[in-house]
Structure 1
Amino acid sequence: MATSMNTITLERAGAAARPARLPIADDKAMLKAAAELTRDLVKPNAGIYWADLIGSSLVGYGALAVAILSGTLWVAIVAGIVAVLALYRGMSMIHELTHVKHASLPGFRTGWNALIGVPMMIPSFMYEGVHNLHHAKTRYGTAEDPEYLPLALMKPWTLPVFILVSALAPIGLLIRFGVLAPLSALSPALRETVIARYSALSINPQFRRRMPQGDEKARWDMLETVTAIWALALIVTTVTGVLPLKAVLVFLAVGSGVALINQVRTLVAHLWENEGEVMTVTAQYLDSVNVPPPALLPVLWAPIGLRYHALHHLLPGVPYHALAEAHRRLSDVLEPDSPYYKANYRGLPGLVGKIATATMRGR
């Protein structure tokens, strides 16, 4: 899941000095095992989804309230951290909304938008219709992929900029829904710009959204209207002094914390080594990252199955709660020389170091 609605253009490093990469052929044994061993894992468990959503929301907003109301600094800081982690987990479920068949989880999209999407100003249309392009076989890693940049091939300074700019996401979302959405209702030209450039959780600055049509447009308009009312209410009540400035600042700080964690996770979700060529499924898998057990911290920084991001690219239809079982089954049957194991990494520091080293070497 990418964080920013758009991002700055990041400069590539040493393109002329890099040798051409040889194409990676599909590993038929791995792809066949992945398909055959997981046929019974594709049904989402509604109880798990709803419990996770409601639990994350209760903990997140409860901790946010404590952070706002507490007069003790250390209590406010601890509560703020809890709020960031819980709301980050809840917001990460937007990734599931783009893959799950909504008929198998009646009302879940509405529930997620009510509890997370609208209050945090990331309604589901910001990701639905966007993330599926990242999984399109002929789009992954190309200029048409909204969630891909060759970060490992760029200048070293681009990595900290990539991460730190995400801290501005709550301000950007407040402006997008509280200012641009109402104004765009009065200007067709501005409306086209808002939809094309500021209506997607993407990291590719060249990506442009198409205008929504049919049922998608009706759902989009409803969610955008409700979110705009919420954003306007935050702005007006803050300016008029009805809502204490501290409450708004804590809310925005928690939102920034969520965006920062997600951007770091995005940084290590792939190796970011493709320069625009169409890739095989196996090549896409090897450019992606799993951080399986025994690592413990990914439970916090890569929740809702995101620790199995490479496996998810093999099996995008498997719900997050079944990915651990899918990983176990594949690990039990695939030979030690299978490319499956080459996408498994130990943890966050090594992955960040790998990408940072690649930028410094210009390769």
Structure 2
Amino acid sequence: MASATIAPRKIDKTMLLAPAPGSEDKEMLRQAAMLTRDLHTPNPVMYWGDCFGSAAIGYAALLGAIASGNAWLTAALVLVSILTLYRAALFIHEITHLDHRKLPGFRLAWNIGIGAPLMLPSFLYEGIHAVHHSRAHYGTERDPEYLPLAHMRPWTLPLFTIGAVAMPALMFLRFGILGPLSWVIPPLRRVIVERFSALEVNAAYHRPAPEGDFARRWKVQEAAASVVAVTILATTALGILSLRAFALYCGVVAGVALLNQTRTLVAHLWENDGEQLSLTDQYRDSTNVPAAFPGVLWAPVGLRFHALHHLLPRLPYHSLPEAHRRLSAALPETSAYPQANYGSLGTLLKRLGMASLRRH
């Protein structure tokens, strides 16, 4: 948990001038490391309670929606299910950064309780996200999580977002049909691993085959997600699971994907066009939205501090608000730090849209 024992060192504004593009804001990087040394330990109560409490509410709301005969109540319960399962699902991001020795069993429990039921096993993100954080790869054609959206035509932005509603169909295809077939068809398996086994936005990215312990985890997680997908498809086809229940499940999964894609749309400015960036410029190309509400709904689990996360990727999500407070107090306005802070989701959507329109 956040500690108040370290007081941030206030810097005279004359000590720091705004760094030029391509250069590092060394004082910001130094302060970020120094002021957060006591914030790196994950709090087990926060992780387990927040993640699985959110999941329990989400599943209960989904079951309530399936059982409800009232349209308004059904809609309300579906909304609750989307918001809470979205929060629980986003712990996949924490899993990619966690030192799992400090939180034993969390990844396994998450995959059993959330990853498999939502057809979102953690192998889809583990390893992939590390490439995105690489100084050499961020924002380049080798980054699986980056597209220069600010340089692309304006119509690509709504298409990028709305395409997320196809997520349930894609996951059923991946884990219910093509995945199991690929286990007995080696050429198909290579295609599935390279092209259909990553949560990516860059279609040019080809994923390498997994190795070692990760390959073993991948097999188990994929098998679990496939069991869920095949079971849902089979029971629906046989009439055991009602079409209404199937549609509501798909609606919740699509809603989770749509929320996440909207958040992704404003997680960066997407202004890099393939050049290798300094860490400071990676920070500037990312965003913080410090306002707690409604940010905790559309960017939960610390992701409203996405730029700060790129500075300190190993910092647990619950430590990010305190880290932001300390750095905001310590660094002057001439630092690069305030340059990544924005007021709202709407502000960022408008900024991205205008950037795309100006270039076309």
Using the size of structure 2 for normalisation, the TM-score is 0.94
Instruction: Say if 2:321 is the partner of 1:324.
Output: yes
Counterpart Cα distance in 2 of 1:225 and 1:62: 25
Counterpart Cα distance in 1 of 2:62 and 2:305: 29
C-alpha contact 1:148 1:272 (8 A) present in aligned 2 = yes
**CA displacement at 1:227 relative to structure 2:** 1.1
**CA displacement at 1:217 relative to structure 2:** 1.0
Equivalent in the alignment of 2:207: 209
Counterpart Cα distance in 1 of 2:66 and 2:358: 45
Equivalent in the alignment of 1:256: 254
Among 198, 217, 220, the alignment partner of 1:219 is 217
Q: Which amino acid aligns with 2:98?
A: V
Equivalent in the alignment of 1:158: 156
Question: For 1:52-63, what aligned pairs fall within 5 Å after superposition?
Answer: 52-63=50-61
Equivalent in the alignment of 1:70: 68
Among 330, 334, 339, the alignment partner of 1:333 is 330
Equivalent in the alignment of 1:18: none
**CA displacement at 1:24 relative to structure 2:** 2.3
C-alpha contact 1:34 1:315 (8 A) present in aligned 2 = yes
Give SS of 1:145's match. coil
Counterpart Cα distance in 1 of 2:220 and 2:314: 28
Give SS of 1:338's match. coil
Equivalent in the alignment of 2:280: 282
* Number of positions where the alignment pairs a residue of Structure 1 with one of Structure 2: 341
Equivalent in the alignment of 1:168: 166
State the Cα RMSD in Å: 0.9
C-alpha contact 1:53 1:90 (8 A) present in aligned 2 = yes
Equivalent in the alignment of 1:141: 139
Equivalent in the alignment of 2:300: 303
**CA displacement at 1:213 relative to structure 2:** 1.1
Task: Show structure 1 runs of 4+ deviating over 4 A.
Answer: none
Q: Which amino acid aligns with 1:199?
A: S
Equivalent in the alignment of 1:126: 124
Instruction: Say if 2:106 is the partner of 1:108.
Output: yes
Using the size of structure 1 for normalisation, the TM-score is 0.93
Instruction: Say if 2:243 is the partner of 1:245.
Output: yes
Counterpart Cα distance in 1 of 2:355 and 2:344: 17
Instruction: Say if 2:337 is the partner of 1:361.
Output: no
C-alpha contact 1:23 1:279 (8 A) present in aligned 2 = no
**CA displacement at 1:23 relative to structure 2:** 4.1
Deviations along 1:317-340, one digit per CA (max 9) or x if unpaired, are 100000001001101110121110
Equivalent in the alignment of 1:236: 234
- Which is worse superposed, 208-217 or 128-137? 208-217
Instruction: Say if 2:347 is the partner of 1:350.
Output: yes
Counterpart Cα distance in 1 of 2:166 and 2:329: 44
Give SS of 1:156's match. coil
Equivalent in the alignment of 1:8: none
Give SS of 1:104's match. coil
Equivalent in the alignment of 1:10: none
Deviations along 1:142-198, one digit per CA (max 9) or x if unpaired, are 000000000011001000100011110111011100001110011110000001000
C-alpha contact 1:291 1:345 (8 A) present in aligned 2 = yes
C-alpha contact 1:286 1:343 (8 A) present in aligned 2 = yes
Counterpart Cα distance in 1 of 2:267 and 2:34: 25
**CA displacement at 1:273 relative to structure 2:** 0.2
Q: Which runs of 5+ in 1 are unaligned?
A: 1-21
Deviations along 1:66-119, one digit per CA (max 9) or x if unpaired, are 111100000000000000000000000000000010010010001111111000
Identity of aligned residues (%): 50
Counterpart Cα distance in 2 of 1:279 and 1:58: 41
Counterpart Cα distance in 2 of 1:201 and 1:47: 28
Counterpart Cα distance in 1 of 2:66 and 2:342: 38
Counterpart Cα distance in 2 of 1:338 and 1:164: 36
Equivalent in the alignment of 2:23: 25
Counterpart Cα distance in 1 of 2:83 and 2:89: 10
C-alpha contact 1:26 1:281 (8 A) present in aligned 2 = yes
C-alpha contact 1:60 1:83 (8 A) present in aligned 2 = yes
Among 40, 57, 62, the alignment partner of 2:38 is 40
Counterpart Cα distance in 1 of 2:104 and 2:184: 35
Counterpart Cα distance in 2 of 1:336 and 1:229: 53
Q: Which amino acid aligns with 1:334?
A: L
Counterpart Cα distance in 2 of 1:74 and 1:61: 18
Equivalent in the alignment of 1:92: 90
Counterpart Cα distance in 1 of 2:27 and 2:242: 60
Q: Which runs of 5+ in 2 are unaligned?
A: 1-19
